[in-house]
């Protein structure tokens, strides 16, 4: 199996200062991949600069112009959570381009799968608004790009970040060509992603939200993936699987209250890889979204690469959550999600 790594030091130049989403995230991940010998097992390739036309497949032209102007004027805060510096506009174009490069390499068969280690992240960015540390919606633009350039008719986007990808959902809420599946802590930022948000018009049924209660961990996540995600994915028959990978559901990440482990992330990656092999010639591309505990982000990334390469031994330095708590009846919640999407036991 050939796995690709997308990375470039330019991503460190999105200078957010002491912000929780800072360059040390990628420094820690890349250092760990090098120290463990993982990087040399991967096929590394650089991102390209996304064109304005490509970005405008998702974002309004006036929004793109506003971000460019903000950078030229020295940067600053775009909302209470999202900040940029003078280089951030260019870096954000390379973040989009990292995903587009991955799509090109995977669809050309140069690699079977890829993980794009990019920043700024993207899944909260809407058509005309930056939010949640995100400037351009990398994964949504990649989906539009694949639909436009590779004779693709069905793209599956999976999002296991602890926060709901409201921007991604919005981009495809009425589009039957893109199935969006998300697990996320709820209620939590940004306030979207309840199970009755299922799409509109021709896109009805192509948004599948599995909101997770605080305190749930590996067991509940894996049942959500095996009992809801797998059947809807098989019914949809995607030609490409894109993944917004956030490591912030980990029990050691202070930004949220979930109880996942590195082993749990690896098990989700195994499900995704097996489905990609079964449904779409192994075409699987992940992109980094959240994850703010540096050790978790580093070990989680390596664990996913181990899965992509077919390695059976997963190193989990932090182990299982010291305490899990089921604050909501999972069985009843699972039943409601299944009924919403007509999934039979």
Task: Tell which residue, 318, 169, 187, has the closest CA to residue 256.
Answer: 187
Identify the structural domains of the chain with CATH numbers, from first to last: 3-340 (3.40.800.20)
**Unique residue bearing structure tokens 């954000």:** 92
In the prediction, which pLDDT does 1 show? 85
Number of residues in the chain: 345
Cα–Cα separations (whole angstroms), residue 294 to 18, 19, 23, 269 = 14, 14, 11, 20
In the prediction, which pLDDT does 102 show? 98
Count of beta carbons in the 10 Å neighbourhood of residue 239: 20
Q: How far apart are CA 31 and CA 61, in angstroms?
A: 37
Residues of the chain with pLDDT under 50: none
DSSP H or E stretch at residue 309 = helix 294-309
DSSP state of 57: T
Buried b (16+ CB within 10 A) or exposed e, 117-156: bbbbbbbbbbeebbbbbbbbbbbbbbbbbbbeebebebbb
Q: Which token pair is 165?
A: 């990808």
Paired strand residues for 244: 159, 287
The pLDDT tens digits of the residues spanning 44-60 come to 999 999 999 999 999 99
Query: DSSP characters for 179-220?
Result: EEEEEEESS-TTS---TT----GGGTT-EEEEEE-TT-BHHH
First to last CA, the chain: 33
Count of beta carbons in the 10 Å neighbourhood of residue 344: 5
CA angle, 34 then 300 then 315, to 5°: 80
Chain centroid, CA 151 distance in Å: 23
Q: Phi/psi at 26 (nearest 5 deg)?
A: -75, -35
Cα–Cα separations (whole angstroms), residue 97 to 55, 70, 307, 335 = 9, 20, 25, 40
Task: Tell which residue, 296, 289, 292, 339, has the closest CA to residue 321.
Answer: 296
In the prediction, which pLDDT does 62 show? 98
The pLDDT tens digits of the residues spanning 193-213 come to 999 999 999 999 999 999 999
In the prediction, which pLDDT does 221 show? 97
Task: Tell which residue, 178, 172, 227, 213, has the closest CA to residue 341.
Answer: 227
Buried b (16+ CB within 10 A) or exposed e, 311-339: beebeeebebbeebeeeeebeebbeebbe
In the prediction, which pLDDT does 72 show? 98
Q: Which token pair is 4?
A: 């690709």
Could you list the active site residues? 124
Predicted model pTM: 0.98
In the prediction, which pLDDT does 176 show? 98
């Amino acid at each position: 199996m050939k796995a690709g790594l997308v990375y470039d030091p330019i991503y460190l130049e999105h200078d957010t200062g002491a912000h929780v989403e800072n360059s040390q995230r990628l420094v820690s991940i890349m250092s760990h991949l090098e120290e463990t010998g993982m990087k040399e097992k991967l096929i590394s390739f650089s991102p390209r600069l996304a064109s304005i036309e490509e970005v405008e497949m998702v974002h309004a032209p006036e929004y793109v112009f506003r971000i460019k102007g903000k950078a030229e004027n020295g940067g600053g805060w775009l909302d209470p959570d999202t900040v940029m510096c003078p280089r951030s506009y260019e870096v954000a174009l390379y973040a989009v381009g990292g995903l587009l490069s991955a799509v090109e390499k995977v669809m050309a068969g140069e690699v079977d799968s890829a993980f794009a280690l990019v920043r700024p992240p993207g899944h909260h960015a809407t058509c005309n608004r930056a939010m949640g540390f995100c400037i351009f919606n990398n994964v949504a633009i990649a989906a539009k790009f694949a639909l436009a350039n590779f004779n693709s008719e069905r793209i599956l986007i999976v999002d296991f970040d602890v926060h709901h990808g409201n921007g991604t959902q919005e981009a495809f809420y009425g589009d039957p060509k893109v199935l969006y599946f998300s697990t996320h802590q709820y209620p939590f930022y940004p306030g979207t992603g309840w199970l009755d948000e299922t799409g509109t018009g021709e896109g009805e049924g192509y948004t599948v939200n599995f909101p997770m209660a605080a305190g749930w961990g590996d067991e509940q996540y894996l049942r959500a993936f095996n009992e809801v995600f797998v059947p809807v994915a098989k019914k949809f028959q995607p030609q490409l699987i894109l993944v917004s990978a956030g490591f912030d559901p980990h029990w050691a990440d202070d930004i949220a209250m979930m109880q996942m482990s590195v082993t749990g992330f690896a098990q989700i990656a195994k499900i995704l890889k097996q489905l990609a092999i079964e449904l779409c010639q192994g075409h699987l591309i992940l992109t980094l979204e959240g994850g703010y505990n540096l050790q978790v982000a580093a070990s989680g990334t390596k664990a996913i690469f181990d899965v992509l390469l077919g390695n059976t031994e997963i190193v989990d330095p932090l182990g299982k959550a010291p305490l899990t708590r089921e604050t909501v009846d999972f069985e009843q919640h699972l039943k409601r999600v299944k009924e919403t999407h007509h999934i039979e036991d």
